[in-house]
Structure 1
Amino acid sequence: MATPGWAGRTMLLLMSCELVCLTVSAPPTVTLRNGVKMPLLAAGCWQYNSSTAFDSVSAAFSVGINMVDTALDYGNQDGVGRALASFPRDQIFVETKVPGCGLDKSTLNLLDCYKDTQKNLESDLSLLNVSYVDLVIVHFPPVTSFVTRSCNNWSGGCEMVRAQWKAMEEFYKQGKARAIGVSNYCPSCYDCLKSADIFPMVNQIQFHLGMGTDPAGFVSYHKKMGVQLQAYSVLGNNPIKHSASEEILRGNLTTSIGKSHNKSSVQVALKWVVDQGIPAVTKSANAKHLKEDLDLWSWELTAAEKEALDNHRNPAGSPSFACSSETASEFVV
């Protein structure tokens, strides 16, 4: 039997979904500073090739997940774009990313930071085959932050942040993105944007069970700044294997709480994140697992369970591997 093409695989996914999917409401949303409503759950596709991204994202949309998280440097946006083509565009929240300054080429010339960002933003639209995205974020701080652990003036980091953000602001003002933000930014990076016309609306960071409710003060800091956090690596991240945390997947705490609600440890870990009002990026190529990821709002953790999860500590993980939580100057946005 011949292997079906992408359109055929979409139909197979939709047909097979009838076996595992019930009528599920779309995830709740958070409201960004500019009024845009962002779903609390997104289908991620890091480490997927274009074909796997197409299958996974199509399955996610079919079960009711209405947001996708991708990036230019994932190399799979054409597959995501094919999946998007089979669903109403205005019902899907599309998030993508552009590389931080200097991370996609060797030069650190400020004009290149600006021009490369312009080019990469247009590439996002072209590869996804859309006229606009709902959210685009800068994937990392400038490359110098990986050495200095900071966006600071003496390393040239601030100048690079501002050059890149200028292109982001222009893209937003042209109506090509409904919201703009950053990822892996720390307070010193925001300090570089004190005079920006538009302040970042979202910061996507590593956040998962075991880090506490306010790791390195990031959660409270961003609430004060009016920047919505979004969580990646929501099941932990082994820095060597780039895999989920065994403690989260099979630890006594998550498995025992899951058993009491007839839920999985994954659902427990995801629920802990979204219950704090922090959107989560999850990932699976299995429609049944994706539907389980979506089932986070039909049940509640008890006060005792929430306290145990809040106080649980897993030493692996920090909000940003690109910079530290060093204190920035106080300013209000």
Structure 2
Amino acid sequence: MINSYEKLNAESIVISLLICRRFNGLIAGLPDILHSYTKMKISLRRLVSVLNETEFENIENDLIEDDIDIRATSASFRWNSSQAYNTLNDISVEIKKNSLVVIIGPVGSGKSSFLSALMGNMNKTSGFLTKNKRSTFSFVSQDAWILNSTIRENITFMQQFDDHWYKTVLKACALDVDIKTLPNYDFYAIADNGENLSGGQKQRLNIARAVYRNSDVYLFDDPLSAVDGTVAKHIFTRVFGSSGLLRTKTRIIVTHSSLFLPQADFIFVMDAGCIVASGTYKSLIEQGYLKENSNENISEKEIDEKNLEDSEVDEVNKNDFEKINDEVGRPLQCWDLMRVK
């Protein structure tokens, strides 16, 4: 130790500096420790809050029929127990295996909530909701969730890598062209929240992850909203359509576009949290809920498969995009097709 009566020497100075350096390291880490402690305390409070919630049995996994994946009978749902009213009311659906089901309706009609209810993310207040216990489910939200990692890891996402299936999924989701233009190709590192990707690329990446997983039932929330018309047709044909990768899967798609409604096996029309009509494309036209326009509806026969395979999928310009707009120059929305009440 050093006191005021001793002369400083090299040994004392070195020891003093070492002691100060040791304490400096401890003190420098104190803010990080306090920050971590605060985060831990907040997280623990949230966990306790969730664990103390009333447990609801939203879905009964006892449906064992070979031709049905989901069945709801007079089911009503709300987001939480404190909510004063139901978000969805009297939902009765039967979704068959390997079918393409499309859900349409105006903004705020409950389409996204309907998918959340089918996934068991809402509280069921009445009725019954059952799903096939032998089927696996994948959900693709409207807001793409992107992992801060490479493109390949975002698509495979903890699944075993299969090179042939991986390349097939890339091509079907129109990502193969994008990857060729990126540094390091599919090992390109994606920034937080996909900030170095466009909205369309993030949405296609989201779709590719679900397709690669190869589940039995797929729920898509407006999956083509961020891509242009050409890419939308490509993805619909190669992924969702009758000749797509998911042709042997059950596909439930929420959409605002009317372009692919003729390809659906069954359509549900929603409004104000209720299913106001359901049926095939032709039956809904006969009921007056849809209108037929040969210039707007695109069938798979109109898409040249050979050209899609041999050519790159490019971004369309403004004039090309306007071809799929309605007469007043704005994108078609399915509420334009709803019956005027």
TM range (shorter): 0.3 to 0.5
Rg: which structure is higher?
A: 2
Normalised by the size of structure 2, how large is the TM-score? 0.33
Q: By percentage of residues, which structure has more strand?
A: 2
Normalised by the size of structure 1, how large is the TM-score? 0.34
